[in-house]
Amino acid sequence: MRPDSGFADVNGTRLYYEVAGSGDPLVLMHGFSLDTRMWSPQWEAFSRRHQVIRYDLRGFGRSAIPKEKGYRHHDDLKALLDWLGIPSAALLGHSTGGSVALDFAVSHPEAVHALVLFGAIAHGYEFSPEFAAALQAIYGSAQAEGIAAAKRSWLRLLAFQPEDPGAEDELHRMVAEYSGWHWLNADPVQPREPPALGHLDTIRRPILTLLGERDVPDCHRIAAMVGQAVPAAEHVVLAGLGHMANLEAPARFNDTVLAFLTRSARDPGSPGPA
């Protein structure tokens, strides 16, 4: 038996993880600059129905910083699930974590029950000039003015407006404790080749694209691309919320995800080709 939390030395790195609950496995993957704590409002609710796994992506939270050797996040995920003895799971990925979920689903369709893409980005998508410039400005700010200045700009970009004011403290705490490593170093991460975005039609499992109404336009465009490639995909926009909808309005977010996973269990679909 693996412990319910700790570190897994897998795929040439060290990943921090936590496991709770029982039932069909569900893996939670956080967004850029964040860590496992972003899922705190979901942890208890989801673990009442599922065996829930959350982990810090390589380079974030308590997981190891990348070394010089190239790596792929979805390979890390596969190695972690193998280490935990979990052959397949539903995946819920936020932002950068959504791109990991997509890459994994296309690479390992037999290991995916269902897919929730929450404010997801995707390898193979070219950011709009406006969003690309905003991201580049944050990198430039980190190098010219320091990490603290970059974090202030990054928080503004997240368009965060919680229904519970206490949630804002948690977001700021996570970003404050983010190392800023990716803004100052060349990350040797390697996306899936060819990009998953061009192979969405190979995913034969239920898919939900989930966004806050005020999320950045690029995330809405990516969700639309998923819908065009997979007509059976469900699409939900949470009114009045932004990129961090799970923290802004946990009850609405949790109900939406759990209802989708319940429907997916009744209609699991069939795996597609790798």
Using alpha carbons, list the distances in angstroms from residue 211 to 160, 179, 219, 267.
13, 27, 8, 23
> C-alpha angle with apex 77: 208 to 162, nearest 5 degrees?
50
Domain map (residue ranges) of the chain: 5-126+160-174+187-266
DSSP E strands: which ranges in the chain? 5-10, 13-20, 24-29, 50-55, 89-94, 112-118, 207-212, 234-238
190, 21, 33, 35: which is closest to 90 by C-alpha?
A: 21
* Cβ–Cβ under 8 Å, residues 31 and 97: yes
Fold observed for domain 5-126+160-174+187-266: Rossmann fold (3.40.50)
248, 231, 218: which is closest to 120 by C-alpha?
A: 218
Tens-place pLDDT, residues 82-132: 999 999 999 999 999 999 999 999 999 999 999 999 999 999 999 999 999
Tens-place pLDDT, residues 214-236: 899 999 999 999 999 998 899 99
DSSP state, residue 230: -
pTM, to two decimals = 0.94
State the pLDDT at residue 273.
45
